[in-house]
Amino acid sequence: MILSGAAAAILLVLGGWLVVSQQITLGQLVASELIMSSIVAAMAKMGKKLEAWYDAMAAMDKLGHIFDLEMERSTGEKGVLSGKGAEVCATNIAFGYHESLFENKSFVIPPSSRVAVVGPHGSGASSLLDILFGLRVPTEGHVSVDGLDLRSWHLESLRERVMLLRRDDIVDGSVVDNLRMGRDDIGLDEVRDALAKVGLLEVLLRRPEGMDLSLTVGGAPLSGNQRTRLLLARALVQNPRLLLIDELFDSLDQESFKLLETAILDRACPWTVILATRDHDVTRICDQIIQLAPCHLNDGTSSESESERLNALS
C-alpha cells in the first residue's frame, strides 16, 4: 500500500508538471498511471509469493542438513542373550569436539553393578552415556559390552539390551505407549505393576483417562516428578541388561528418591545401572564411582568409602 501510494503520488506530480509544460498530453498521463498501477500491483503479489518461497528454501536447507547426516550402521554382531546384567569395559577412552571433555579413562564395570558417573556440567558425563548407548563414538580408545567392542555390535541388537533415560524423554502418545515403546509383547498387567512400583498408578487412575492419558512430547500434563517416575517405570517393563540414567534422580525429593531407589536400584534387579549424577545421596548407594572431573557433589563432601571407590576406577 505504501509503495503503491508513493508511486502514484510521484507519477501525478511529475506527470502533472509535464502536462502543464505541454511535454505530454493528459491521455498519456492517464495511460502512464494505469501502467504504473499494474506494475506496482504485480510487484505486491510477487512480494507475497516471495515469503512462501523463502520459507520453502529454509525448509529445504533444514532437510538438506538432515539428509547429510551420517547413517547409523545396520550391520554387526548381535551378541549373546543373558539373564544377568551387562559387563562394561573401557580402555583409554577420550571424547570431545574442539577439545577433549575427558581422556585416558579406563574402567571395568562387573555385571549387575551400580555405578555413578560424577562431574560438573560440561565434564562429559552425558557424552559417556551416549557412547555406551551407541549414539557417539569415542575419539580415542574403545569400549566393550559383554566382551564385544561397541563398534562391532549391531546397534538394534545393542539397544534391545541397553536403555538410556533422560529427563523429559517422553514421546507423543498415551502412558501405555510410553512404557511399551512399540513392544506389543508387554502386557497391561506388566504396565500396571511398573506404574505401581514407582507410585504413579494411583495418580493415573484418579484421572478419567487412566493409563490411556495422552501425553505431549516432554510429558505434559504430568509434573516433573511424575515424568521421572514414568521414565523409570519404562525401564521396569523394558527390563534392559544395562540401564543408563542421566541425572533423573538428582531433582527428586527424599520420599520419591527412596521409592525409586527401591524400584530401580534393588539388588533383586539383575541389570547393570550407570547413573550420571552430582547428588551425594546417589553416589552413596553405588558400588563404584567414575570421576570425569574434580568431584563437586551437592553437599560438598566426599566420604572415605567414595574415595576408595574412586581410586578403584582410576
C-alpha distance across the termini of the chain, in Å: 72
Q: How many CB atoms lie within 10 A of CB 243?
A: 25
d(CA 104, CA 274): 19
Contact yes or no for 104/96 (Cβ under 8 A): no
Strand arrangement, sheet containing 242-246: 162-166, 242-246, 272-277, 114-118, 288-291
So what's the pLDDT on residue 194? 94
So what's the pLDDT on residue 128? 95
Place of cell 512399540: 182
Pick the CATH number of 88-313 from 1.20.1090.10, 3.40.50.300, 2.60.120.1030, 3.40.718.10: 3.40.50.300
So what's the pLDDT on residue 3? 60
So what's the pLDDT on residue 47? 73
Q: Note down pLDDT in tens along the chain; length 314 residues.
A: 566 667 777 777 787 788 788 787 878 877 877 887 787 777 777 777 788 888 888 999 998 888 887 777 778 888 776 678 999 999 999 998 878 888 889 999 999 999 999 988 888 999 999 999 999 999 999 999 999 999 899 888 898 899 999 987 899 999 999 999 989 899 999 999 999 999 999 999 999 999 999 999 989 999 988 999 999 999 999 999 999 999 888 878 888 888 878 888 888 888 999 999 988 888 888 999 999 875 444 443 444 455 445 544 44
Output phi, psi for 40, to 5 deg: -65, -40
So what's the pLDDT on residue 1? 58
So what's the pLDDT on residue 264? 86
Rg of the chain, C-alpha, whole Å: 31
Q: Provide the whole-model pTM.
A: 0.74
The cell numbers describing 142, all together, are 574403545
CA torsion 266-169-250-101 (nearest 10°) is 110
Question: How many CA atoms lie within 13 Å of 210's alpha carbon, on the beta-carbon side?
Answer: 3
CA quadruple 134, 138, 139, 141: dihedral sign: negative
Q: Where are the beta strands (DSSP E) in the chain?
A: 88-96, 100-109, 114-118, 140-145, 148-149, 162-166, 173-174, 214-215, 242-246, 272-277, 288-291
d(CA 10, CA 116): 75
Q: How many CB atoms lie within 10 A of CB 158?
A: 23
Place of cell 504504473: 36
d(CA 314, CA 310): 6
Domain range list for the chain: 2-68, 88-313
Contact yes or no for 89/109 (Cβ under 8 A): yes
So what's the pLDDT on residue 305? 52
Write the DSSP string, 11-78.
HHHHHHHHHHTTSS-HHHHHHHHHHHHHHHHHHHHHHHHHHHHHHHHHHHHHHHHHHHSPPPP--SB-
